[in-house]
Amino acid sequence: MTIFSRIIAGEIPCYKVAEDDRFFAFLDINPVNWGHTLVVPKEETDYIFDLDDKSLGDMMVFAKKVASAMKKTLPCRKIGVAVLGLEVPHAHIHLVPIQNEGDMDFRNKIANPDPEKMKEIAAGIAANL
């Protein structure tokens, strides 16, 4: 079971943003910028391009809804989209509010983000879904 499956199962806490029957979204614990959100399928697949076409499309449509709520909630020009998958073997899309390119530098993460601020951001996005 991946760490993301344990989060989805409620075994590990997260700052939850959104959920439907097939997908789940929560804040990245080491955000590259405030509001950095991960969108994951509930079904475990390591590599995003191993998902079947429908799942991949549906995941992007779910991410679109989340991104729209993020854009309403956080000061940003756009929501940047990235897929890395080098750390956690459970397909996921990174959504990051950005003002400029530097806001998506995965080498510069916010270490130990304030839990209260994280909670507030997650609730704010969820309220705008």
User: Which residues form the catalytic set?
Assistant: 92
Nearer to ligand AMP, 1 or 12 (CB): 12
Per rule CB under 6 A, is residue 1 in the interface with ligand AMP? no
Site string (90-129) toward ligand AMP, x via CB under 6 A: ----------------------------------------
Per rule CB under 6 A, is residue 81 in the interface with ligand AMP? no
Residue 116: phi and psi, rounded to 5, are -65, -40
Cα Rg of the chain (Å, integer): 14
Degrees to nearest 5, angle at CA 5 with 3 and 8? 115
Residue 107 is encoded by which pair of tokens?
């080498």
Residue 87 is encoded by which pair of tokens?
């750390």
Per rule CB under 6 A, is residue 56 in the interface with ligand AMP? no
Which amino acid is it at 34? Answer: W
Residues 6-35 that bind ligand AMP (CB under 6 A): 12, 14, 28-30
Per rule CB under 6 A, is residue 86 in the interface with ligand AMP? yes
Residue 36 is encoded by which pair of tokens?
């950095």
Per rule CB under 6 A, is residue 85 in the interface with ligand AMP? yes
